[in-house]
Structure 1
């Protein structure tokens, strides 16, 4: 993500925060989940300002997930270490498991097909167009069982301004750590690969 894009997102988040004043006059406080509590008399407009994550493709129930909805799911915390262009990075991420998010959309797996989840993938796309793929089998405890997250906080700081981040523990390089996820596409590789 370019420096200009990050600055623009921070500016938008700051403007939204400035225009979201609690009717009761209470100050904003950080909650234990890293979100912003603007008082009981106001809505969480800051949380809703980031684009919702759309889940589409081979799912029975396509839907969108706001940051508030992602925070309402069971939260998991992972500590990761990976290589990036800046060298070795170590971070702590918190958010729902990607598998839990996808379970709410019901990927179209065929119970009659042996190990059907091996044929499916999830393509995560960031707001800047960056994209990476995770296999459904990586999320399945019967196979890899990775605790892949759609993180809503990093190192204790919320990701409200940039949106959720795909986190793939165990990867040596951080290439699949997609920032600002706006779209998840569940796909079946059989639709793409020639069987002949």
Structure 2
């Protein structure tokens, strides 16, 4: 049962992350161009139609990629983090005064020798949080209290919940929802 579950997640990851689909390429001025796109090794491959050859787009030119179609929507953006040296494509999970991003990686582990060698692939999700006015996104799970104080110290109600351990590093999505709903102040658009 566990192997079947692992296979299912790997299949879903491979299908959703590395296969060409209807997409919109997003530029830094937030303009979009519709076409077909996919993501491989932190590079966006995009073309306007099936008859064209895909072109490579990275963080120097493109902000990200929106996948739309058949009742779903996914957005991936290049994000500067405290972990990676160059901007890295991550899925946007929540947008607001504080944005939440997910970095999905597949970890392969092998054991045994010859005919008895087993390889197990595990999917690991890391979550990064970035305020609108900040340049870098931070992984909240490492040094949770210290980073939470830095990111959310301006929200007394949220910090009380964190200090009482109502919210822990395992509640990242709830923390971001709470902050955006009760604490964040949206900057007015010009």
For normalisation by structure 2, the TM-score amounts to: 0.28
**Which has the bigger relative contact order, CA under 8 A and spacing at least 6?**
1
Larger strand percent: 2
TM-score, with structure 1 as normaliser: 0.27
